[in-house]
């Protein structure tokens, strides 16, 4: 794919189902049937890029107060202002609860934010990072418009494969390639990521893991929107993994202001909900803006009703 | 004040700066200079009541998916769907970290949700509840449209005073009336609540407390929006109280999906960040939908950058 060229889109004549004009301001409004009746809005200053790629509708815009924003099929994937929360948590929850994470696989993650977080762990054990993203356009657009997220995409320890993550894992069934941590950083199940939320996928993940390996995925729905869906997703995971847990973090630009993760392992000795390793407070402060070992533990503490429903407490 | 009469407002001809029509749907959009560039939206099914009271613009509407909603000056105060999170946390954080909370004062709290939560503690020590709300209209509208929140407003252990909370506390300077817990459940500082976010107010609170007394207030801004404001608010509190802490909880219908609290005491022996008393798990499950003693502790665990800024860690 060639270099991304600026599109110079005129906001006034730009037509998109998620962008509207109100009182002389332009707003991006995030709407979906999976969170009917509520919509998070961001004021749009400039449309940076819009394309219907082979896989999805991709919109990149400059917001008034959240920096540049990437939306896939009308759903916010990241904003420059708060992306660190999601990227640090989906990366460090598994990496820090693993005693010796050397080989890491990222499924999805086209904005390369997870890769950036993984690069921070080259000094404490991570050796190779493989990222499998289906849509090269997302990587190219992130490189241009989210440079702080995508800055390590060409790092020598990083291998990027443009392929369907499900197919990639399926092919691993016939190979002896195993990973210590697999991070599924996908979009929601409405688009190309639908196959990532099924038992078959959990089985492919388990097959691709070393002993003591850990997987994590964003959970799509959250405890406020559809706790029954989450309960079901956890029980799918439990058909394959001996320990499956739900964690959450604050994320202002995501639905309901939060994001949930499903984390799983077949290592009986690993509770997942605390860090197996730690940095000095100084090192921790140097590396992370959101994650701490205390934040790790507290992300598994759920409000009473959610704890009862998901953990049976 | 008389009984609230239905207004039968026609949504199509209703004019309000926070309500607009888009693609044949009506939406409430929450906008403010204190969170410029972002706006949470709720689909509106019916305008239940609108009035400019002596103090503020009050809008009550039926939303598509969050139940009935109360907005003051265009800012969401509560929705039937998620109000329990805020009400349980602002009430139980101080009540459960106090060893023997008998007399409780609520400043604001016109929807009577905090009163409902306090009534749950009559069996474990709370004896008298005084609520001082400036705007009787908020109480009356909550009684009609948020009946589950306002159901204990006429309870024999509850005394409701229609008055300015600041003035009420000022008058206590010349009396010997003291409280164990004071909960300031106000709107944001833009409206009549402006005086609740000043050193003078912290002094009035301290004066009205018994030894070992605890105060809590909603913090208005959150860590993502304006952490410098919070740091300043904490330092105002520290001019008056020996221990001042910031806690937060998830709250989908509030800005950034969360709410912060400032909690303070002059009891050196009370760290505030854990419960001083506890219920059996069964009793806890019977009483609360959000709060647990684990949630209590974790609400004080802040993301790394916020912890460094607010707690100096």
Q: What is the pLDDT of residue B2?
A: 59
pTM: 0.96
Which tokens hold the place of B87? 């009400």
Asked if the model's pLDDT at residue A3 lies above 90, the reply is no
A185 given a catalytic annotation? yes
Beta strands in chain A (DSSP E): 19-22, 25-30, 38-52, 57-63, 68-72, 75-79, 103-108, 128-133, 158-162, 179-185, 209-218, 243-250, 258-265
List B135, B185, B188, B267, catalytic entry: B185
Span B263-310, pLDDT tens digits: 999 999 999 999 999 999 999 999 999 999 999 999 999 999 999 999
Q: What is the pLDDT of residue B194?
A: 77
Q: For the range A195-200, what are the long-range contacts, defined as Cβ-Cβ under 8 Å and sequence gap of 24 or more?
A: A195/A166, A196/A107, A196/A108, A196/A165, A196/A166, A197/A233, A197/A236, A198/A236, A199/A236, A199/A239, A199/A240
Q: What is the pLDDT of residue B191?
A: 66
Q: What is the pLDDT of residue A23?
A: 87
Span B212-232, pLDDT tens digits: 999 999 988 899 999 999 999
**Side-chain half-sphere of A239: how many Cα atoms within 13 Å?**
12
Q: What is the pLDDT of residue A153?
A: 96
Asked if the model's pLDDT at residue A2 lies above 70, the reply is no
**Closest by CA position to A155, among listed A137, A143, A171, A168:** A143
Pairing of strands A38-52, A25-30: antiparallel
**Looking at residues B64-93, what average pLDDT do you find?**
97
Asked if the model's pLDDT at residue B55 lies above 80, the reply is yes
Q: Are B183 and B114 in contact (CB under 8 A)?
A: yes
Residue B176 Cα, gap to closest chain A Cα (Å)? 39
Q: Which residues on B lie below 8 Å from A308 (Cβ)?
A: 285
Q: What is the pLDDT of residue B220?
A: 81
Asked if the model's pLDDT at residue A192 lies above 80, the reply is no
Asked if the model's pLDDT at residue B1 lies above 70, the reply is no
| Chain B interface disruption, residue of A22, A39, A275, most B CBs within 10 A | A39
Q: Is the backbone of residue A219 left (phi > 0), alpha (psi -120 to 50) or beta?
A: alpha
**CA nearest A37 in B: which residue?**
B43
Domains of chain A, earliest start first: 19-79 (2.30.140.10), 82-311 (3.40.50.150)
For residue A10, what are the contacts with CB-CB under 8 A and spacing of at least 6? none
Helix B227-238 × helix B199-207 angle, to 10°: 40
Q: Which residues on A lie below 8 Å from B298 (Cβ)?
A: 297-298, 301
C-alpha span between B27 and A244 (Å, rounded): 39
C-alpha span between A96 and A276 (Å, rounded): 6
Q: What is the pLDDT of residue B165?
A: 93
Asked if the model's pLDDT at residue B160 lies above 70, the reply is yes
Q: Which residues on B lie below 8 Å from A82 (Cβ)?
A: 224
Q: What is the pLDDT of residue B200?
A: 94
Place of tokens 């639905």: A255
C-alpha span between B65 and B80 (Å, rounded): 10
| Residue A30, strand partner residues | A40
Q: How far is CA A70 from CA A57, A62, A100, B258, B271, in A?
A: 11, 9, 33, 23, 42
List A111, A180, A185, A188, catalytic entry: A185
Helices and strands of chain A, counted as H and E runs? 10, 13
| Chain A interface disruption, residue of B38, B82, B285, most A CBs within 10 A | B38
Q: What is the pLDDT of residue A196?
A: 79
The separation between CA A169 and the C-alpha centre of its own chain, rounded to angstroms, equals 18
Q: What is the pLDDT of residue B195?
A: 79
Contact B224/A at CB under 8 A: yes
Q: Phi first, then psi: what are they for B272, rounded to 5°?
A: 75, -30
Q: Are A125 and A100 in contact (CB under 8 A)?
A: yes
Mean pLDDT of chain A: 95
Asked if the model's pLDDT at residue A6 lies above 90, the reply is no
Asked if the model's pLDDT at residue B171 lies above 80, the reply is yes
Q: What is the pLDDT of residue A262?
A: 97
Contact between B36 and A64 using a beta-carbon 8 Å cutoff: yes
C-alpha span between B189 and B86 (Å, rounded): 18
**Looking at residues B139-152, what average pLDDT do you find?**
97
Span A261-307, pLDDT tens digits: 999 999 999 999 999 999 999 999 999 999 999 999 999 999 999 99
Asked if the model's pLDDT at residue B123 lies above 70, the reply is yes
Name the residue facing B289 among A29, A298, A304 (closest C-beta).
Answer: A304
Q: Which residues on B lie below 8 Å from A289 (Cβ)?
A: 303-305
Mean pLDDT of chain B: 95
C-alpha span between B269 and A263 (Å, rounded): 38
Helix A227-238 × helix A304-311 angle, to 10°: 30
């Amino acid at each position: 794919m060639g270099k991304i060229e600026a599109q110079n889109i005129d906001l006034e004549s730009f037509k998109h189902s998620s962008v509207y004009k109100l009182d002389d301001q332009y707003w991006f409004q995030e709407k979906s049937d999976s969170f009917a009746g509520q919509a998070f809005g961001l004021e749009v200053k400039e449309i940076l890029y819009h394309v219907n790629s082979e896989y999805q509708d991709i919109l990149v815009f400059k917001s008034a107060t959240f920096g540049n924003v990437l939306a896939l099929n009308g759903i916010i994937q990241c904003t420059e202002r708060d992306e660190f929360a999601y990227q640090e948590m989906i990366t460090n929850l598994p990496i820090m609860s693993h005693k010796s994470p050397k080989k890491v696989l990222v499924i999805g993650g086209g904005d390369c934010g997870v890769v950036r977080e993984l690069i921070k762990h080259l000094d404490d054990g991570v050796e190779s990072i493989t990222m499998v993203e289906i849509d090269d356009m997302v990587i190219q657009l992130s490189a241009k418009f989210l440079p702080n997220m995508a800055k390590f995409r060409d790092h020598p320890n990083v291998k990027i494969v443009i392929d369907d993550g499900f197919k990639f894992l399926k092919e691993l069934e016939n190979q002896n390639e195993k990973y210590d941590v697999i991070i599924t950083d996908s979009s929601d199940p409405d688009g190309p990521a639908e196959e990532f939320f099924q038992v078959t996928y959990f089985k492919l993940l388990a097959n691709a893991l070393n002993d003591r390996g850990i997987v994590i995925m964003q959970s799509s729905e959250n405890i406020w929107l559809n706790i029954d869906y989450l309960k079901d997703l956890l029980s799918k995971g439990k058909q394959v993994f001996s320990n499956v847990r739900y964690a959450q973090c604050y994320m202002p630009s995501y639905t309901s202001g939060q994001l949930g993760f499903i984390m799983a392992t077949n290592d009986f000795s690993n509770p997942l909900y605390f860090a197996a390793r730690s940095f000095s407070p100084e090192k921790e402060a140097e590396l992370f803006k959101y994650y701490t070992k205390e934040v790790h533990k507290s992300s598994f503490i759920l409000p009473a009703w959610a704890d009862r429903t998901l953990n049976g407490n």
